[in-house]
Amino acid sequence: DTTFSFSLIPFRSNVQSNVFIDTAYMENPFAVGGEPNALTVRLYNDGKEDRRQINLRLVIDDLQVGTSNTDIPGNGVAEVSFSLSPGMQGIHKATLSLADAPISFDNEFYLVLNFTSRIRVVSIEGNTGTSVIPTIFGNSKLFDFDSQSFTNIDYSVISKADLLILDEVSRLD
């Protein structure tokens, strides 16, 4: 349309800096029997200037359980750890959030924390008489181990297993 005239003017920001959550991981991915655990969060600063007193909050199931202030060097990384309650069981939704302007779309990081008391392991044994699998998963505090012969499988146990091992099974029916 020739009746309209457009002028494009580029807009450039003098400061290009963003702090974002790069990684979040649990110190012990298998929280066994109420043992203490920690959630470590890695923050990244992609700007050239140091950032001071960045506030990071941890909310689990809509309840704030921790907050921490940290400094991050320019183009650097900082790690923050939150202690987690040893009595947590089951699945919990968690949110990590920080206040960082002007870029705000990446200021929240969502994750799920899955606390289990024991890991259910089922091993289906083949024809061999000896196996090292029971020795590997013999820690009864961490693993709920069940070994079955491939000729007599209890499928109800398999459906509840977190890990299924086929140990030298030559064929499956």
Side chain identity at 42, as an amino acid letter?
R
Q: What is the pLDDT of residue 126?
A: 80
Contact 39/82 with Cβ under 8 angstroms?
yes
30 vs 21: which has the higher pLDDT:
21
* Residue 61 pLDDT class (50, 70, 90 cuts): very high
The reported pTM is 0.66
* Residue 1 pLDDT class (50, 70, 90 cuts): confident
Q: Is the dihedral of CA 67, 72, 75, 81 positive or negative?
A: negative
Query: pLDDT (tens digit, 9 = 90+) per residue, 85-144?
Result: 877 777 889 999 998 777 778 889 999 987 777 788 998 888 766 778 888 887 777 788
Q: How far apart are CA 126 and CA 115, in angstroms?
A: 32
Provide mean pLDDT across the span 72-93: 89
Contact 51/72 with Cβ under 8 angstroms?
yes
Q: What is the pairing mode between strands 90-98 and 108-115? A: antiparallel
**51-61 burial string, b = 16+ CB within 10 Å, else e?**
beebebbbbbe
132 vs 45: which has the higher pLDDT:
45
Radius of gyration of the chain (CA): 25
Q: How far apart are CA 5 and CA 24, in angstroms?
A: 50
Reply yes or no on whether the pLDDT at 33 is more than 60.
no
Q: How far apart are CA 115 and CA 90, in angstroms?
A: 5
Q: What is the pLDDT of residue 82?
A: 95
For residue 94, the SS3 value is strand
